[in-house]
């Protein structure tokens, strides 16, 4: 006689075993894919990339009228949505006008965030926003509460339009005389959006000089300083601008704003000085420029290496010491809640000050006379560990496929993770497996390693356990 199974045990999500039969509940093997904010954002990004890939495969997207392979279309779509800037084809010479405008739309959507754009259309169509969408928008905007979500969104869109319109107007002063009225306006809009969204895509390449980025303007302060201003503005994050705009109503900015502004200033000065001194006499980079142009290009590369991916100097010709600093800058990235990637300057600051506190024997970590919560410290070190693991996996895949030297593949992997877009020149020749690995690296870099890890939380939340484990001893270090 077969013992009947315990239906009550099978229906219960909390019982891993049936009490009567001891049979394991098969539902314990099946993750509960609840509609959480993080999953809405992640799958929104993934769906946009996949849809854009098929659009870029169409003959109308290329100048030649020939269809593009799926892998290359996927790589371009992921790089656009993740505002990275790594490309397998020169954007200006390979893609058609339709392809350019599609890439621009993907950059704008990826830069602002999926939920920001979706919510904007909900408001435009006068539809109600559900609780899940509000939670996802709160997560996307890096906001602490529901209060004023719609107003914050409208302010973000307004600020974005103002900065991008102003940038396009300044770019047009230079681009219209060079490229003509229609093409000049198009390139001005494209480079303004690409700069503000920290994407690094450009339309300056030619058949004789593909992948040239802004090299032709390395002596032009108007173009480089405008691009740098937009990059920094987008990289500071929307919440920083909201906080700064509210200073008339309060005395001091938030702790996060202080950390972001201070860290950004320190990294910009450090990067400028190091690149200036390291490449000063390098004939392939700064060597042939005047000292004013050397300073200008050093500053520009200090800005773009952290977030954007434009270049005015040959990355492949830079010294290894300079590229090592570039890797560090790309890895750190910009501010949370911004258009940029990396582990973020706040994460880096918390880790550095935590190490100083540990060395001094302090039990607490302080920033600007404020105590940093233990949860923030734990999250910062978790992000650091997860990101290092992701970069190592990417480097291993590229090395196995013999894509270049260790420095080249490390540079490429960190550039993809930091959604920067700088390259030593190996991107177009990558094997399919390497391209797919970098697509995954860009994707995780854009949504964040902590967010990616949270997808595997089958409970859909980070609930606290109601009991404490006994303490055990373990030797480390």
Inter-residue contact 309 to 194 (CB < 8 Å):
no
Residue-level pLDDT at 197: 92
Instruction: Give the Cα separation of 55 and 428 in Å (integer).
Output: 20
CB atoms within 10 A of CB 46: 15
Q: Is the pLDDT of residue 229 over 70?
A: yes
Instruction: Give the Cα separation of 396 and 407 in Å (integer).
Output: 12
Mean pLDDT of the residues in the chain: 84
Higher pLDDT, 188 or 109: 188
Q: Which two tokens stand for residue 98?
A: 């339709």
pLDDT band at residue 117 using 50, 70 and 90 as cut-offs:
low
Instruction: Give the Cα separation of 257 and 237 in Å (integer).
Output: 9
Q: Per mean pLDDT, which of 86-100, 252-266, 324-338 is the most reliable? A: 86-100
Residue-level pLDDT at 401: 95
Q: Is the pLDDT of residue 290 over 90?
A: yes
42: enclosing H helix or E strand:
helix 37-57
Residue-level pLDDT at 140: 52
Residue-level pLDDT at 463: 53
Inter-residue contact 44 to 110 (CB < 8 Å):
no
Residue-level pLDDT at 338: 80
Inter-residue contact 311 to 422 (CB < 8 Å):
yes
Q: Is the pLDDT of residue 404 over 70?
A: yes
Inter-residue contact 427 to 88 (CB < 8 Å):
yes
Instruction: Give the Cα separation of 396 and 109 in Å (integer).
Output: 31
Phi, psi of 97, deg, nearest 5: -60, -40
Phi, psi of 333, deg, nearest 5: 80, -150
Q: Which two tokens stand for residue 393?
A: 């996996």
pLDDT band at residue 355 using 50, 70 and 90 as cut-offs:
very high
Q: Is the pLDDT of residue 452 over 90?
A: no
What is the Cβ-side half-sphere exposure of residue 367, based on CA atoms within 13 angstroms?
A: 23
What is the Cβ-side half-sphere exposure of residue 154, based on CA atoms within 13 angstroms?
A: 7
Place of tokens 């100083």: 356
367: enclosing H helix or E strand:
strand 366-367
Q: Is the pLDDT of residue 4 over 80?
A: no
Q: Look up the pTM and report it.
A: 0.85
| Lowest model confidence (mean pLDDT) among 47-51, 282-286, 447-451 | 447-451
Inter-residue contact 133 to 149 (CB < 8 Å):
no
How far are the Cα atoms of 191, 257, 288, 365, 425 from residue 370, in angstroms, in the given order?
A: 40, 13, 48, 8, 44
Phi, psi of 459, deg, nearest 5: -80, -15
Region 97-113 average pLDDT: 92
Residue-level pLDDT at 72: 97
């Amino acid at each position: 006689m077969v013992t009947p199974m315990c239906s009550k045990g099978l229906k219960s999500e909390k019982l891993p075993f049936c009490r009567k039969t001891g049979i394991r509940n098969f539902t314990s093997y099946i993750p509960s894919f609840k509609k959480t904010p993080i999953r809405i954002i992640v799958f929104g990004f993934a769906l946009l990339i996949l849809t854009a890939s098929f659009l870029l495969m169409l003959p109308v997207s290329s100048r030649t009228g020939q269809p593009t392979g799926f892998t290359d279309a996927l790589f371009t779509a992921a790089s656009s949505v993740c505002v990275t800037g790594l490309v397998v084809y020169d954007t200006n010479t390979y893609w058609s006008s339709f392809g350019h405008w599609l890439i621009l739309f993907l950059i704008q959507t990826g830069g602002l965030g999926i939920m920001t754009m979706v919510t904007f259309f909900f408001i435009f169509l006068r539809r109600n926003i559900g609780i899940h969408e509000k939670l996802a928008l709160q997560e996307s905007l890096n906001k602490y509460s529901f209060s004023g979500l719609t107003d914050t969104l409208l302010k973000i869109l307004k600020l974005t339009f103002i900065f991008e319109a102003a940038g396009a107007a300044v770019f047009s002063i230079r681009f219209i005389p060079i490229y003509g009225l229609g093409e000049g306006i198009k390139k001005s809009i494209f480079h303004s959006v690409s700069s503000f969204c920290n994407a690094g895509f450009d339309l300056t390449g030619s058949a004789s000089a593909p992948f040239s980025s802004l090299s032709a303007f390395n002596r032009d302060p108007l173009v480089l300083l405008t691009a740098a201003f937009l990059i920094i503005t987008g990289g500071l994050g929307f919440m920083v601008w909201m906080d700064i705009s509210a200073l008339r109503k309060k005395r001091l900015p938030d702790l996060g704003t202080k950390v972001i502004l201070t860290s950004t200033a320190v990294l910009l000065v450090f990067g400028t000085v190091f690149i200036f001194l390291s490449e000063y006499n390098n004939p392939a980079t700064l060597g042939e420029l005047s000292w004013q142009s050397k300073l200008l290009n050093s500053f520009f590369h200090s800005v773009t290496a952290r977030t954007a991916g434009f270049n005015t100097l040959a990355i492949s010709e830079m010294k290894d010491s300079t590229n090592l600093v570039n890797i560090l800058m790309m890895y750190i990235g910009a501010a949370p809640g911004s258009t940029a990637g990396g582990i973020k300057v706040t994460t880096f600051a918390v880790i550095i000050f935590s190490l100083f506190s540990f060395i001094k024997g302090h039990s607490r970590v302080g920033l600007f006379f404020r105590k940093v919560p233990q949860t923030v410290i734990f999250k910062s070190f978790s992000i650091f560990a997860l990101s290092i693991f992701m970069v190592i996996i990417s480097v291993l895949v590229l090395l196995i496929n013999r894509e270049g030297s260790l420095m080249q593949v490390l540079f490429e992997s960190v550039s993809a993770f930091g959604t920067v877009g700088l390259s030593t020149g190996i991107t177009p020749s990558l094997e399919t497996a390497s391209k797919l690995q970098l697509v995954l690296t860009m994707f995780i870099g854009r949504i964040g390693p902590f967010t990616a890890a949270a997808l595997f939380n089958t409970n859909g939340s980070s609930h606290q356990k109601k009991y404490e484990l006994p303490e055990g001893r373990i030797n480390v270090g």
